[in-house]
Amino acid sequence: NAGVTQTPKFQVLKTGQSMTLQCAQDMNHEYMSWYRQDPGMGLRLIHYSVGAGITDQGEVPNGYNVSRSTTEDFPLRLLSAAPSQTSVYFCASSAGTGVGNTDTQYFGPGTRLTVL
């Protein structure tokens, strides 16, 4: 098992550019999520999905879109990048789903994004 994989590892964008951060897992996990990590603020939830075709907003969803067409993939799209989106982005997955999901989440290696 590769676990949770993320690409790219590093990315530099100019303000206004768009891009997609890729996330894939090979553990057949139903639950997937995206976090951003900023200095002094821990990790904050952007969007999450409890299964293919289902997505929901987290704590800081503005400026980001997601979709979940397959169980394996959960891409995060930045439609018009802003300097405030400079951060480290983590994708995570877990086996459980729905209310009462308390399964351990497995994290990817992260993507460091800089927006100039």
Partner 1 sequence: AQTVTQSQPEMSVQEAETVTLSCTYDTSENNYYLFWYKQPPSRQMILVIRQEAYKQQNATENRFSVNFQKAAKSFSLKISDSQLGDTAMYFCAFLYNTDKLIFGTGTRLQVFP
Tokens standing for 98?
């729905």
50 lines the binding site for partner 1 (CB under 8 A): yes
Distance CA 39, CA 41 (A): 6
Shortest approach of partner 1 to residue 29 CB, angstroms? 12
Cβ–Cβ < 8 Å for 89, 105: no
48 lines the binding site for partner 1 (CB under 8 A): yes
Q: How far apart are the first and last CA of the chain?
A: 36
68-107 binders of partner 1 (CB under 8 A): 88, 90, 92, 97-102, 104-107
Closest CA relative to residue 61, chosen from 86, 97, 35, 87: 35
Closest CA relative to residue 51, chosen from 22, 74, 35: 74
2 lines the binding site for partner 1 (CB under 8 A): no
Single out the residue of 12, 41, 82, 116 in contact with partner 1 (rule: CB under 8 A).
41
Closest CA relative to residue 20, chosen from 89, 70, 84: 89
Single out the residue of 19, 27, 45, 95 in contact with partner 1 (rule: CB under 8 A).
45
31 lines the binding site for partner 1 (CB under 8 A): yes
Question: Where along the sequence are the contacts to partner 1 (CB under 8 A)?
Answer: 31, 33, 35, 40-45, 48, 50, 58-59, 88, 90, 92, 97-102, 104-110, 112
